[in-house]
Chains A and B, each alone.
Chain A
Amino acid sequence: MANTENSIDIGVVGLLRWGWRQLTSMRTALILLMLLGVAAIPGSLFPQRSQEPQKVDQYFAHDPSLAHWMDRLRLFNVYASPWFSAIYLLLFISLIGCVLPRTFTHLRAIGKKPPLTPKNLDRMEGHRIIASADTAASFELARKWLKKNRYRLRIQDGSISAEKGYLRETGNLMFHLSLILILVGVALGSLFGMKGETILNVGDRFINTPTSYDTITYGKFQGQGTLIPFALTATDFAAKYDPITGQPTDYTLTTSVENPIGSTPKKIIIKVNKPLTYGSTKIYLQANGYSPIVTIRDKTGAVVFNGPTIFLPQDSDLTSVGAIKEPDMTPQIGFIGTFLPTAQMNMKRGGFSSYPEVLNPELLLSAWKGNLGLDSGTPQSVYQLNTAAMKEIGIKALLLGDTYNFGEGSITFTGWKSWVNLQIVEDPGKMYALFGAIFAILGLLISLFTRQRRIWVRVGSEIEIAGLAKNGIPGLDKELEDLARALSGSKEEQK
């Protein structure tokens, strides 16, 4: 918004140049904002590595050369791509370049009086001439009326210049400065944050060190070893389901937490919408599933393995698959397993689970012998069996307590445990983003609902009034009418 009082000083050319610069910088900021919106679109249409890595893999499997090119354009990683970051950073700079000078201008303007009354009021909006017998009394009346209506006044010789609605620009600037604060918060979070995930069987203890995590990523400037020294034991996990639809209705994880390690453990309950919070670090309950417990014995009957193995759920009824690997037997033994919490069979799907709770558990196994390939040096998934150097030796469906003798030994299905997936996130920037968001809304409300306008009154042989509504906001005419009525009312009193 141009401040007319400045423009008078710098002349017409200066005004044009100043106006042009103002317009272009604003325009640049706007174009960048629009561009950010457009650039966000591909990320919603193509699968993103950070959200759906399996779907990205499908693209690569389906058309490798196309997927390769899409990957080079960072289409599977839009929001971390150089071109997206470039727009984001440019917008950031442009916003600062646009808003900061205006903030200083506005701060200076706050203390100032309204500009002088223009020479030709008849060029302004709602120009009216009111006859008056006693101009001095009318002048006083106008002054009082404007004061009462919260106008800021500048009394001159024979005229009043009045303005109200400075808050509009205040709110406007507050909104834009808050947006910068949000961007700062986002940047801080990605530069100094940490995010890690771990899967924990009920009964297991998690110690918050980098090696305890299944995956962990740090922000660019976040050093390792700054993790909060806590230990957490999952003591109980309860899932409730709607008996008709099988939809989950509640997950409750009971934990025993030592913070710092070695202190007296505290019982803490974590739910989906109730993460555990330590400062800017939060611990979330993200997913859950089942770990079937098996006992494996060798030919002599000696126990070589006894414990739970984490299986990954494949559907909403928690049909879960996983791999049990036994490298210490000769030959090495592996099982590909499917755990069905509530087992059912049909011709089309074979064995599947029909309800997510454990009501009729069954473990389907296929046994393999040979080389598990664990020593080959290439990392392999703990949930999958690499059968390249193995031979299938049998399949079996086990009910609870059943034993399957696969020739090289035996496996007994003895029970199950629940596991939970904990996500541990540190985001030191989010408070800035939150405050930015709150101030942004406040600023927006102030700027959109404050009406900024000027009214001028000049007293000569008669009274002249006129006004100016910034941004063409309606309501000025009514106010001028009210003022006119107040002024002509004074005339009647005198009669």
Chain B
Amino acid sequence: MNSIQLATFSNHAIYACLAIFAVAFVAHTIEVAWSVRNVPGQTKTEFEFTRTDRAGRIGTAMMILGFLVLLIAVTARGMSAHRVPWGNMYEFSITGALTLTGAYLFALAKYKLRWLGLPVSLATLLTLGTAITVLYRPSEQLVPALKSPWLALHVSAAIISGGVFLVANLVAATYLWMDAIEKKGPRPTWAAKIPSLESLDQLSYRLIAFVFPLWTFAIIAGAIWAESAWGKYWGWDPKETWAFITWVAYAAYLHARVTVGWRGKRAAWLCIFAGSTFLFNYIYINIWGTGLHTYSGL
């Protein structure tokens, strides 16, 4: 296949992914909705996931299929342009969706996390949908400044960190939600499957402790690259500035947990705050910002 065929093939694969993740989303919805049943003789309802286990399995199968097709789509996109597929915001987004589903499936293999399938499939659908409609750019070669081996290192580290930051944010938000529910009394049946507050709290901390060095690396790799492309390793470009702010926020989070002993609600809020600085950087600075990092193609 030549470049144009590959790019077209990649687009078709993305549309296929939209369909597959839509099925996964519906399956996960059915898994949750149909498992609710009334407890005989009481007004209470409870979850019985055995009844909808099949729907859940279909959901997981679709997530795996979607991941594979998306992997092919992203690879084809890269091959069509003879480079890593991270040249503009469309490509960042489809790669981001790939890492998000990948991270979920990886975690699913180790933990009982199928309840996350619903939000993950929804988030993937939204990301891919926005990417193909709003952010889409034709496949093309890179501008000279982007032609560097550091592109692969810097951008992949940033994308993976971003994906993990978002998952950590989801977990922290779930913590706050469950905390609010538990204040009023025991958890309702639909929330029974969600891990305990303590595990949620631990999980978001572990995710961040795991990814903080990677984020640090993404910034440093960017600095090394900037030194060779722009003539200075740090120029307070808006994107750099916000990457630094995100770094500071997560550093504060880690210190707050490890040395000051913050747990629970306060830690979850700080985690969400730090994650939103990343989102602000990704969305606002990419689209409306100025500076040297203007590769979104928008």
Contact = CB atoms under 8 A, between A and B. Distances in A.
Chains A and B belong together in one complex:
yes
Contacts of B228: 273-275
B252 A30 contact: yes
B233 interface: yes
B33 interface: no
A275 B140 contact: no
A340 interface: no
Contacts of A36: 248
Given A423-B231, A448-B212, A448-B213, A40 B236 contact: yes
B220 A272 contact: no
Contacts of A195: 231-232
Interface string A410-438: 00000000000001010100100110011
A248 B143 CA distance: 5
B207 interface: no
A272 B231 contact: no
Given A242-B141, A249-B143, A444-B212, A41 B241 contact: yes
A427 B232 contact: yes
Contacts of B248: 33-34, 36-37
Contact of A41 (B143, B245, B258): B245
Contacts of B259: 1, 26
B285 interface: yes
Contacts of A441: 213, 216-217, 220
Interface string A238-260: 00001011011111000000000
A51 B245 contact: no
Interface in B237-283: 237-238, 241-242, 244-245, 248-249, 251-252, 255-256, 258-260
14 contacts: A26-B259, A40-B236, A41-B241, A43-B236, A242-B141, A272-B147, A273-B148, A425-B231, A425-B232, A434-B233, A437-B223, A440-B220, A441-B213, A441-B216
B291 interface: yes
Interface of B: 138, 140-145, 147-148, 202, 209-210, 212-213, 216-217, 220, 223-225, 227-238, 241-242, 244-245, 248-249, 251-252, 255-256, 258-260, 285, 289-291
A434 B223 CA distance: 9
Contacts of A37: 244-245, 248-249
B148 to A, nearest CB: 4
Closest 8 CB pairs of A and B: A37-B248, A44-B238, A272-B144, A44-B241, A284-B231, A437-B220, A273-B148, A249-B141
A144 B154 CA distance: 46
Contacts of A430: 227, 233
A79 interface: yes
Interface in A12-57: 23, 26-27, 30, 33-34, 36-38, 40-41, 43-44, 47-48, 50-52, 55
A273 B241 contact: no
A40 B231 contact: no
A471 interface: yes
Interface string A428-470: 0010011001101100110010000000000000000000000
A282 interface: yes
A271 interface: yes
Given A30-B256, A273-B229, A471-B258, 11 more contacts: A26-B255, A37-B249, A44-B289, A186-B234, A247-B143, A248-B144, A250-B144, A275-B231, A433-B223, A437-B223, A448-B212
Contacts of A55: 290
A81 to B, nearest CB: 12
A40 B213 CA distance: 22
Nearest to A80: B236
A48 B291 CA distance: 10
Give the most central of B144, B245, B251: most A CB within 10 Å: B144
Contact of B144 (A249, A282, A440): A249
A51 B235 contact: yes
A225 interface: no
Q: Report, as a range, how many residues of chain A touch the other chain.
A: 35 or more
Nearest to B257: A471
Contacts of B244: 37, 40
A251 B142 CA distance: 12
A433 B258 contact: no
Contacts of B223: 433, 437
Contact of B233 (A26, A34, A272, A433): A433
A242 B144 CA distance: 11
A249 B241 contact: no
Interface string A275-312: 10000001010100000000000000000000000000
A273 B252 CA distance: 34
B117 to A, nearest CB: 25
Contacts of B241: 40-41, 43-44
Nearest to A22: B259
A111 interface: no
B228 to A, nearest CB: 5
A33 B252 contact: yes
A259 B46 CA distance: 81
A84 B237 CA distance: 16
Contacts of B143: 247-249
Contacts of A262: none
Nearest to A249: B141
A51 B291 contact: yes
A23 B217 CA distance: 29
Nearest to A470: B258
Nearest to B242: A44
Nearest to B289: A44
A244 B3 CA distance: 14
Contacts of B233: 427, 430, 433-434
A377 interface: no
B231 A286 contact: yes
A440 B216 contact: yes
Interface string A117-130: 00000000000000
A45 to B, nearest CB: 8
Given A40-B245, A44-B289, A444 B229 contact: no
A37 B233 CA distance: 18
B142 A249 contact: yes
B287 to A, nearest CB: 14
Given A245-B140, A248-B143, A273-B228, A448 B209 contact: yes
A440 B221 CA distance: 13
A268 to B, nearest CB: 15
A44 B252 contact: no
A2 B71 CA distance: 48
A267 to B, nearest CB: 20
A33 B141 contact: no
Contacts of B140: 242, 244-245, 247
A474 interface: yes
Give the most central of A30, A43, A50: most B CB within 10 Å: A30
A247 B237 CA distance: 22
Contacts of A30: 252, 255-256
Nearest to B240: A44
B231 A273 contact: no
